[in-house]
Amino acid sequence: MYNEKVMEHFNNPRNVGEMENPTAVGESGNFKCGDKMLIYIDVENDVIQEIKFQTFGCAAAIATSSILTEMVKGKTLEEAMQVTNKDIAESLGGLPPVKMHCSNLAADALHDAIKKYRESE
């Protein structure tokens, strides 16, 4: 069902865990499937210096969270806001159609964190 890259990020997720003193925390979830994501960011000079995640969900949800953190670490907030669910799925080499909603959660949680950061400035 999942390709090798998805399984690699599921079995060995990057940047997983809670961040102490994040600049902002974004969250998203899908009550239908039960997945929930928290994205922690540390921002300095409008650049994501550090990013971590906590995901409660399926292999695809964990893999999309993991690859998202690699995709946006070191990027400006503006660049990170441009990342879409499609970009995340493509970075993993694709997801089964029934799991595409998982990549939506990752992008949504990131965008929520950035929005909260901007509102707190």
Q: What are phi and psi of 83, to 5 degrees?
A: -70, 130
Q: Is 33 a catalytic residue?
A: yes
Contact 71, 77 (CB under 8 A): no
What pLDDT is stored for residue 69 in this prediction? 97
Q: Which of 19, 77, 102, 107 is catalytic?
A: 102
In tens, the pLDDT along 69-93 reads 999 999 999 999 999 989 999 999 9
Per-residue pLDDT of the chain in tens (121 residues, 90 and over written 9) = 899 999 999 999 999 999 999 999 999 987 777 789 999 999 999 999 999 999 998 899 999 999 999 999 999 999 999 999 899 999 999 998 888 877 778 999 999 999 999 999 7
Q: Cβ neighbours of residue 68 under 8 Å, at least 6 residues apart?
A: 39, 53, 83, 88, 106, 107, 110
CATH of the domain at 33: 3.90.1010.10
| 102 flagged as catalytic | yes
Domain containing residue 13: 4-120
Q: Do the Cβ atoms of 102 and 57 come closer than 8 Å?
A: yes
Give the count of domains, the chain: 1
- Catalytic site residue from 7, 33, 59, 81: 33
Tell me how far the alpha carbon of residue 20 is from its chain's centroid.
18
Per-residue pLDDT at 32:
74
Cβ contact 105:50 at 8 Å: no
